[in-house]
Amino acid sequence: MKKDLLTLADIDLNDLENLFDLTRKMKAERGKSNYRPLSGKSIGMIFAKSSTRTRVSFEVGISELGGNALYLDESRMQVGRGETVADTANVLSRYLHGIVIRTFSHQGVEELAKVATIPVINALTDEYHPCQILADMFTILEYSGKVKGTKLVFTGDCQSNIANSLILGAKLTGMELVFAAPEEFKPRADVIGNASNISWESDPVKAAKDADYLYTDVFVSMGFEEERKMRLEKLMPYQLSMAMVKAAKPSVKILHCLPAHRDEEIAAEVMDSEYSIVFDEAENRLHVQKALLAMLFDR
């Protein structure tokens, strides 16, 4: 495994299998194990965006592994007042043992990781959200016993950080990934490349046919508030609806990375239905990230 996790392109299938094996063990042994690979280590958590799941899951995970989590508000750091990313990376590398960062610019995170001599974990940028997709795929593994060959349909904004990371996850695992979106929100061809297991469909109900999993995310992500009216107008026909659920397999499961805006990107009756496993998915952020931290620091 590489020093950093910036996107899912940073791990291979063997890394993924080892990560999920460790995740399964850590989840089963939570509260019972004395395994503390972060003992004596301090992890800086740089946040430029509001957060519930990311902050809490990482802080709890770092603590349970014996480490010390430092919450760093990017707007109150000198990098928010003009200090270069490189200078910040050099300084933090001398204080900390690792960095978790949730921010806007993916390029900035790449620059941080390039200069830093300590591991950097991308906890979300505008382009990629690898930790979320790792949790998603682990949840699929728990419910289906496999990831390869399962059909996941993502509906809505298919150019988002979730969509981009799902593409990398599908390329890594062989999962069948179908995107449902209007033309202007089609997935990025440069991210898909020549992958034959990834496709786009303009009709969301048709896309959902025989799906094992249906997935969506907010239509208006942080940083895109000025486009709210346009996005809702274009994307509301792609709401994760009961019509999509009925087109999928009878055993279909519903995923959402949260927070959910009921009756926007997902119908309330779907979000709260027996098909929904979104809170299992959210819980798995903790377990997967603990395993990721352990793999980065216990080697």
Which member of 157, 212, 239, 257 is catalytic?
Answer: 257
Kindly give the residue spans of alpha helices, DSSP state H, lying in the chain.
13-28, 53-64, 85-95, 106-115, 130-144, 161-173, 189-192, 204-207, 228-235, 242-247, 268-271, 278-297
Specify whether 129 is catalytic.
Answer: yes
Which member of 102, 106, 231, 287 is catalytic?
Answer: 102
Specify whether 256 is catalytic.
Answer: no
Specify whether the CB–CB gap between 67 and 73 falls below 8 A.
no
Specify whether 188 is catalytic.
Answer: no
Element containing residue 260 per DSSP (H, E):
none
DSSP 75: G
Which member of 129, 231, 256, 287 is catalytic?
Answer: 129
Which member of 4, 126, 212, 217 is catalytic?
Answer: 217
CA distance 7 to 223: 20
Which member of 55, 106, 285, 287 is catalytic?
Answer: 285
SS3 state at 158? coil
Specify whether 257 is catalytic.
Answer: yes
Specify whether 132 is catalytic.
Answer: yes
Alpha carbon of 14 to those of 70, 75, 122, 173: distances in Å? 31, 38, 20, 11
Which member of 132, 231, 239, 289 is catalytic?
Answer: 132
Specify whether 97 is catalytic.
Answer: no
The set of catalytic residues is 102, 129, 132, 217, 257, 285
